[in-house]
Chains A and B, each alone.
Chain A
């Protein structure tokens, strides 16, 4: 009798902490994430400390930072990822701002802005090569306008940056627009009745509410831009100017079959990305996070 009571009370106590049979539903998800994400990640981490050629466990990391060709990839990647993400976020603000509320053709314009998602990296790359190439339409117009020589916009930094903007902008725009539409418009109307000008309303009401959402948008855009791989190969100069970290990681792991070194580069990639995102998210905690809009 007492045993039954104790068992019941234990179940009761657990249920009060939120532990009951519903949690069995978590099992498939938890097993999945451990098996296919945590385990491979930790496996990669320990593999990166077992250099193929033997030696000290940190050999791979030492090699990475002492080899200028590899160490440089960090800056190359950041130099592409940060401006691309920043541009995508900053450019979406004014456009999303004009897209609030209802007007004719809003759905069509939104669709038009989202369509680049469907292009895929290869079509974008082929298009950039053809359009911005030395004999492409862009340079024909450029030369016709009186330029001395065709602008070099492909097979270098600019080509990859354009590709990142084309594929990343729709995404940043959609997120910004949904954050912006989440801000209660009555707040701005209230401010307007109190005599605040358009600029004042934007600076003191919309921006502070939007900023946390923008931080998240920036992070997600940065992740997209940071992992740039196919476009850096196709429209960039993968051996030089756009030798980004993901190319280095791929080449060492699957072309040279040095999985240990490849994992080390992948881990460093994760680290660099986490640092950038961490900085942005720490800055985000200093922002106002109220009940209305901009949450995320």
Chain B
């Protein structure tokens, strides 16, 4: 039983981290319900009015609609582009495949700021920046490679014999895609789309660099609200942050129903 102290240390450190985290989140949630809170343990009184004011003042309904539109557009387009690419990459070995793989890996490996600034420059040149199309285009840059990278191993594990058998039975290419592959791909596509959705809603840098006043998503308008505070009470920013986290939490709960986070990399059955 030599390992005991190490075990306690691990759990102890984790508990300390969690305690601080609870304090951090708790402070924001408490403040968002506070009448006023200056230098005391707890606020003087509680109210829910900041949520209403934030909702009206920051036009959160419009912002949420924009966020939703951008996220859905990014998911649909990235799946439409990414899945066929992943299929070809999973099924064929061809000259130049390595190069293509690297090209699809780079946008995920690069910090968004590094390609975001040149991308914003290009989008400004073509007068796309500031519009919804620009925001969608910018968010697609990491989204499509993400779909390709998650779908390629998924397609690799689908037995090629199934396709061969379908062809033997007289199915044409369209039929193979719609009636054989599509049903098998649905779980993978669903998982990839939900992850892309979560990433897009949370993506700050690219949206920040390319959005105009009418194409801001929730993260960006939250950042703008925080950096231009001062005139408005702190509680409004906090209640908006709580709304953001609430919607992200909702998305994550949905995502966790479809994706097992511990099996993102390898699929190995745990021993019973």
Which A positions have Cβ atoms within 8 angstroms of B? 17-20, 22-23, 25-26, 28-30, 32-34, 36-41, 43-45, 47, 91, 94-95, 98, 101-102, 110-112, 114-128, 130-132, 135-138, 140, 166, 169, 174-175, 177-179, 181-182, 184-186, 198, 213, 219-220, 223, 226-227, 229-230, 233-234, 245-246, 249-250, 253-254, 259, 262-263, 265-267, 269-270, 273, 277, 293, 295-296
Q: CB within 8 A of A29: which of B82, B198, B271?
A: B82
On whether the beta carbons of A43 and B122 are closer than 8 Å, the reply is yes
Task: Given A32-B140, A94-B10, A227-B205, decide whether A26 and B20 contact each other with a Cβ distance below 8 A.
Answer: no
B23 contact from A102, A137, A186, A273, Cβ within 8 A: A137
A-chain residues with CB within 8 Å of residue B59 when the two chains form the complex: none
A30 to B262, CA, bound (A): 31
Residues of B within 8 A of A179 (CB): 265-266
- A119-B270 contact given A32-B144, A44-B117, A98-B7, CB 8 Å threshold: no
Q: Given known contacts A17-B94, A249-B113, is B141 in contact with A36 (CB within 8 Å)?
A: yes
Judge whether A20 and B117 touch: CB under 8 Å. Answer: no
Instruction: Decide if B231 is an interface residue (CB 8 Å cutoff).
Output: no
Provide the residues of chain B in CB contact with A91, threshold 8 Å.
13
CB under 8 Å from chain A, chain B span 84-143: 84-85, 87-89, 91-95, 97, 100, 103-104, 106-107, 109-122, 137-138, 140-141
CA of A267 to CA of B6, assembled, Å? 44
In contact, A17 and B219 (Cβ under 8 angstroms): no
| 28 contacts across the A-B interface (CB closer than 8 A) | A18-B94, A19-B95, A26-B84, A36-B140, A40-B115, A40-B121, A94-B6, A98-B7, A98-B11, A101-B270, A110-B261, A111-B256, A120-B245, A122-B219, A126-B28, A132-B24, A178-B264, A178-B266, A179-B266, A182-B268, A213-B265, A226-B111, A227-B111, A253-B121, A262-B117, A266-B114, A267-B114, A293-B268
Is A174 a contact partner of B261 (Cβ separation < 8 A)? yes
B142 to chain A, nearest CB (A): 9
On whether the beta carbons of A25 and B84 are closer than 8 Å, the reply is yes
Residues of B within 8 Å of A120, CB to CB, are 202, 219, 222, 241, 244-245, 248
Chain A contacts for B115, CB-based, 8 A: 37, 40-41, 44, 266, 270
Given that A95-B10, A123-B28, A246-B111 are known contacts, is A40 also in contact with B204, CB under 8 Å in the complex? no
Give 19 A-B pairs besides A138-B23, A233-B227 with Cβ atoms closer than 8 angstroms. Answer: A18-B94, A23-B94, A29-B82, A30-B85, A44-B122, A91-B13, A101-B270, A118-B245, A120-B222, A121-B223, A122-B241, A126-B28, A126-B238, A131-B23, A137-B26, A137-B27, A220-B109, A246-B111, A273-B114
Cβ-defined contact, A22 with B92, below 8 A? yes
**For B198, what are the chain A residues with a Cβ–Cβ distance below 8 Å?**
117
Would B27 and A127 count as touching, CB distance under 8 A? yes
Residues of A near B209 (CB, < 8 A) are 250, 254
Looking at the complex, which one of B24, B237, B268 makes contact with A128 (CB distance below 8 Å)?
B24
Choose one: A47, A126, A178; the contact of B263 (CB below 8 Å).
A178
B14 located at the interface, meaning its Cβ lies under 8 Å from any Cβ of chain A in the complex: yes
Q: Point out the residues of chain B lying under 8 angstroms from A181, CB to CB.
A: 262-263, 266, 268, 270
Docked pose: A248 CA to B249 CA in angstroms: 32
Taking CB atoms, residues of chain A closer than 8 Å to B237 are 122, 126
Check A127/B261 contact, CB under 8 A, given A29-B144, A249-B117: no
Q: Which A residues are CB-close (under 8 A) to B31?
A: 126, 130
Whether, in the assembled complex, B81 has its beta carbon less than 8 Å from a beta carbon of chain A, the answer is yes
Q: Are A125 and B226 in contact (CB under 8 A)?
A: yes
Instruction: Decide: A28 and B111 in contact? CB cutoff 8 A.
Output: no
A270 and B114 contact, CB distance less than 8 A: yes
The smallest C-beta distance from B211 to any residue of chain A, in angstroms, reads 12
- Are A230 and B223 in contact, with the CB atoms below 8 A? yes
The residue from B104, B256, B265 contacting A296, defined by CB atoms under 8 A apart: B265
In the bound complex, do residue A122 and residue B244 qualify as a contact, i.e. CB atoms below 8 Å apart? Answer: yes
B263 touches A270 (CB 8 A): no
CB distance from A210 to the nearest CB of B (A): 12
Residue of B nearest to A136 (CB): B27
Name the residue on A nearest B3 (C-beta).
A198
The answer to whether A230 touches B204, judged by C-beta atoms less than 8 angstroms apart, is: yes
| A127 contacts B28, C-beta separation under 8 Å | yes
> Which A-chain residue is minimally distant from B199 (CB atoms)?
A117
Contact of A26 among B13, B89, B202 (CB under 8 A): B89
